């Protein structure tokens, strides 16, 4: 092979770089204790270690194409284990490192996992591990919590590199990625070797990725986006991956890695912005940016402090980002491009084009991706990244694709005159008011989420004359409420309600905003691991309070007094 473009799968790309870039850095992994304890692997060392683990897996004599699970936060060992699984002729099954025990058990049982790799985990693992069968054979990474499993380093020390790797036919399943389960039990999307390779190649070619690029890997490898942007792209383009140590060290990790490619979710982009405002109030920053001599200095200093001064491509996904935030980052010289994708198409779907951003739109399809809107308003996508189908769900697979190969996304949308896609909601999320009107909650939630007072929200109101919203306040607003400033906060939320309603049709206008005392996160089950709200959980939690809230006839109501 003369280049990755001649490879047939990502594993062949890895072998190419093992030779072509043998001495260049492949992974940089904090091992605990800050910069003094960072381990790096060259391409030759990383692929060599994967080969040794593959020898161990081969020695187990498991049935061909066995499922092998991975449960760990992002780390170099995760990716080496993934490659070892492929080299040994098996299928990787990622498990998100923050789940309930019953979902862990369901995933391991449903995927028929024969082994488990266990790695870097939070204390929540103490509850999660209750879902792991007692007889599940497990290999622990060096970063794993204290355990009595087989150890990665010991296995590596006692096995020779696997010389002849198993074939990875294009149409064979490389990985089964389970959806986040926002609407019920997770489904296992079977992603082929071809889908992963073509997606990584397509993104690399679109971004002109090269060996000099860098990425900080921190978005969960258990989900498709980081596998697409981090794993698939880096294996194709041959650039190094850096890993974050902890949430507390994240900003330092960014400053250390100085990524050239950086993607995140709106909540993190907002937190970056609020962090800057904490040190430099918006009014003062705005004045400084208007002074020609200081303009460039201020921009460079802010981006350098964020660790983003080397970024040549920045993206936001998973949820809409306020246009004001996009404009603010543009004022600093960083253009945020919005993207769209799903587990079912390995996230290889849509991305905004530089200079052609339209707020509220997720951009155009990649060059080799097709899209259209069905008669019912549903977004249909045909992508090289499209899954083979859901694992062990033949009935579901009969309806998930059109006869001509387009994926039913379940999202509603429209396409503008130059092919940019706008998502207007989820078909299954529509609900009917007592007036017989159907309401799409997502667009209203997006408007509410633009407010710095709100961190997360959901809109509902099935069977009532008008919908309403339940919101989780932002950290700053929660602090304000805690300090006894509820009256001022309620006034600001009442003004927000009026502003939101002025942008809505009469039947969509909110009757009130309800403030929850709960903090929604993945650990307590209110959010999916990808930070999407779980409507069924929210309905069950706040549904019993709804009648009382409507009877209060107030623009802002609180879940509990205090």
Whether residue 378 contacts residue 407, with contact meaning beta carbons closer than 8 Å, is answered with no
What is the SS3 assignment for 22? Answer: coil
Whether residue 26 contacts residue 41, with contact meaning beta carbons closer than 8 Å, is answered with yes
Average pLDDT over residues 217-230: 93
User: Do the domains 15-243 and 430-558 sit in the same CATH topology, yes or no?
Assistant: no
Is a pLDDT exceeding 90 seen at residue 176? yes
Q: What is the reported pLDDT for 561?
A: 44
Average pLDDT over residues 60-84: 97
Q: What is the reported pLDDT for 275?
A: 85
Q: What is the reported pLDDT for 560?
A: 64
Q: Which residue has the tokens 């980002």?
A: 321
* Strand pairing class (438-439; 431-432): antiparallel
Q: What is the pLDDT of residues 386-431, one digit of tens each?
A: 999 999 999 889 899 999 999 999 899 999 999 999 998 887 888 8
The enclosing H or E element of 359 equals none
* Strand pairing class (364-365; 378-382): unpaired
Q: What is the reported pLDDT for 235?
A: 98
Is a pLDDT exceeding 50 seen at residue 562? no
Is a pLDDT exceeding 70 seen at residue 524? yes
Q: What is the reported pLDDT for 349?
A: 97
Q: What is the pLDDT of residues 528-542, one digit of tens each?
A: 777 778 888 899 999
CA-wise closest residue to 204 among 261, 278, 155: 261
Sequence-distant (≥ 6) Cβ neighbours of residue 341 within 8 angstroms? 224, 225, 228, 317, 347, 348, 349, 350, 385
Q: What is the reported pLDDT for 136?
A: 95
Q: Which CATH code of 3.30.70.1230, 3.40.50.300, 3.40.50.980, 3.40.50.2300 fits the domain covering 15-243?
A: 3.40.50.980
**How big is the CA angle at 127 (ends 126 and 131), to the nearest 5 degrees?**
110
Q: What is the reported pLDDT for 41?
A: 98
Q: What is the reported pLDDT for 85?
A: 98
Q: What is the reported pLDDT for 440?
A: 84
Burial class (CB in 10 A: 0-12, 13-18, 19+), 410: middle
- Rounded Cα distance, 551 and 547, in Å: 6
Average pLDDT over residues 219-226: 92
Average pLDDT over residues 310-332: 87
Query: The pTM is what?
Result: 0.85
**Lowest-pLDDT range of 224-228, 277-281, 297-301:** 277-281
- Rounded Cα distance, 401 and 389, in Å: 9
Average pLDDT over residues 496-516: 92
Q: What is the pLDDT of residues 447-487, one digit of tens each?
A: 898 888 898 899 999 889 999 999 999 888 888 887 777 88
**Structurally, what CATH architecture does the domain formed by 430-558 represent?**
2-Layer Sandwich (3.30)
36 pLDDT tier (thresholds 50, 70, 90): confident
- pLDDT averaged over every residue in the chain: 91
Q: What is the reported pLDDT for 98?
A: 85
- Residue of 487 and 372 predicted with greater confidence: 372
Average pLDDT over residues 213-238: 95
Dihedral sign computed on CA atoms, order 206, 210, 212, 218:
positive
Is a pLDDT exceeding 70 seen at residue 183? no
- Rounded Cα distance, 371 and 348, in Å: 12
Whether residue 458 contacts residue 518, with contact meaning beta carbons closer than 8 Å, is answered with no
Q: What is the pLDDT of residues 114-164, one digit of tens each?
A: 999 999 998 889 999 999 999 999 999 999 998 999 999 999 999 999 989
- Rounded Cα distance, 182 and 528, in Å: 6
Domain ranges for the chain:
15-243, 430-558
């Amino acid at each position: 092979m003369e280049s990755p473009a001649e490879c047939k799968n990502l594993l062949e790309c890895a072998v190419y770089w093992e030779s072509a870039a043998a001495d260049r850095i492949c992974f940089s992994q904090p091992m605990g204790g800050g910069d003094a304890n960072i381990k790096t692997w060259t391409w030759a060392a990383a692929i060599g270690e994967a080969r040794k683990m593959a020898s161990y897996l081969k020695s187990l004599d498991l049935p061909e194409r066995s499922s092998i699970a991975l449960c760990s936060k992002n780390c170099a060992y995760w990716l080496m284990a993934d490659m070892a699984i492929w080299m040994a002729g098996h299928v990787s099954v990622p498990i998100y490192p923050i789940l309930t025990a019953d979902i862990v058990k369901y995933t391991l049982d449903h995927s028929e996992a024969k082994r488990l790799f266990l790695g870097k985990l939070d204390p929540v693992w103490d509850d999660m591990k209750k879902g792991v069968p007692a007889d599940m054979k497990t290999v622990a990474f060096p970063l794993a919590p204290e355990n009595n499993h087989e150890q990665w380093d010991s296995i590596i020390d006692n096995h020779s590199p696997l010389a002849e790797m198993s074939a990875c036919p294009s149409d064979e399943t490389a990985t089964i990625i389970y959806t986040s389960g926002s609407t019920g039990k997770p489904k296992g999307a079977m992603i082929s070797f071809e889908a992963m390779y073509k997606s990584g190649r397509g993104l690399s070619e679109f971004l002109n990725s090269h060996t000099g690029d860098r990425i900080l890997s921190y978005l969960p490898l258990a989900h498709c986006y980081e596998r697409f942007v981090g794993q698939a792209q880096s294996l194709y383009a041959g650039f190094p991956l850096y890993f974050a140590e902890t949430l507390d060290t994240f900003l330092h990790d960014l400053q250390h890695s100085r990524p050239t490619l950086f993607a995140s979710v709106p909540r993190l982009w907002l937190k970056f912005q609020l962090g800057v405002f904490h040190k430099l109030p918006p009014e003062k920053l705005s004045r400084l940016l208007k002074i020609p001599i200081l303009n460039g200095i201020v921009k460079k200093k802010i981006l350098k402090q964020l660790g983003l001064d080397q970024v040549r491509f920045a993206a936001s996904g998973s949820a809409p980002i306020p246009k004001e935030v996009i404009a603010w980052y543009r004022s600093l010289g960083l253009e945020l491009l919005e993207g769209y994708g799903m587990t079912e198409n390995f996230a290889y779907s849509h991305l905004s084009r530089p200079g052609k951003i339209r707020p509220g739109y997720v951009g155009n399809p990649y060059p080799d991706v097709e899209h259209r809107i069905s008669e019912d308003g549903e977004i249909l996508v045909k992508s090289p990244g499209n899954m083979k189908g859901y694992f062990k769900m033949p009935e579901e697979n009969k309806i998930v694709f059109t006869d001509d190969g387009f994926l039913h996304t379940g999202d509603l949308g429209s396409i503008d005159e130059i092919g940019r896609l706008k998502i207007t909601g989820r078909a299954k999320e529509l609900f009917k008011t007592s007036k017989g009107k159907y309401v799409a909650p997502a667009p209203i939630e997006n408007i509410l989420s633009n407010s710095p007072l709100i961190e997360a929200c959901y809109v509902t109101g099935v069977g009532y004359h008008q919908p309403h919203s339940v919101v989780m306040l932002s950290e700053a607003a929660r602090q304000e409420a805690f300090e006894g400033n509820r009256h001022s906060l309620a006034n600001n939320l009442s003004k927000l309600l009026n502003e939101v309603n002025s942008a809505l049709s009469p039947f969509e206008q909110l009757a009130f905003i309800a403030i929850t005392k709960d903090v929604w996160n993945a650990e307590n089950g209110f959010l999916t691991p990808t930070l999407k709200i779980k409507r069924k959980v929210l309905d069950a939690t706040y549904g019993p309070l709804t009648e009382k809230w409507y009877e209060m006839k107030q623009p802002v109501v609180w879940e509990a007094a205090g």
